[in-house]
Amino acid sequence: MDIMIIENADLKWGKNLHPENREGCVGKEGIDATYTLDMVKTIAYRMPEKPNIIIKSGKDAKWYIKKCPKDEIIREIELMRNSSFYEKSLRCTMYVLLNVV
């Protein structure tokens, strides 16, 4: 498997990345909610920043692409869970891309 799934998890807000050509982008932040995980993964793998996190912020919500060093992901999740944004992260699903180099 090339993805680890973490339910009810997000990273700090404000770390969203976007493809240079804004493929799939909707509004100021996020990727179109109608995209599939595979479509968002394809976008992420093409990005020069080599993001390793994809967030689905709810069943019908947009996708968000982020980057976090592998050894800091758990700490970042805990920081979010201990912040005032914790309730918002409860509806999020985090997909950690394991084979990003």
Triad 79, 33, 82: Cα angle to 5° = 10
Q: How do residues 37-52 score in pLDDT, each as one tens digit?
A: 999 999 999 999 999 9
Q: How far apart, in whole angstroms, are the C-alpha atoms of residue 8 and residue 87?
A: 9
3-7: strand order across its sheet: 3-7, 93-97, 53-56, 63-66
Half-sphere exposure of 18 (CA within 13 A, CB side): 15
Q: How do residues 23-34 score in pLDDT, each as one tens digit?
A: 999 988 899 999
Write down the domain spans for the chain: 3-95
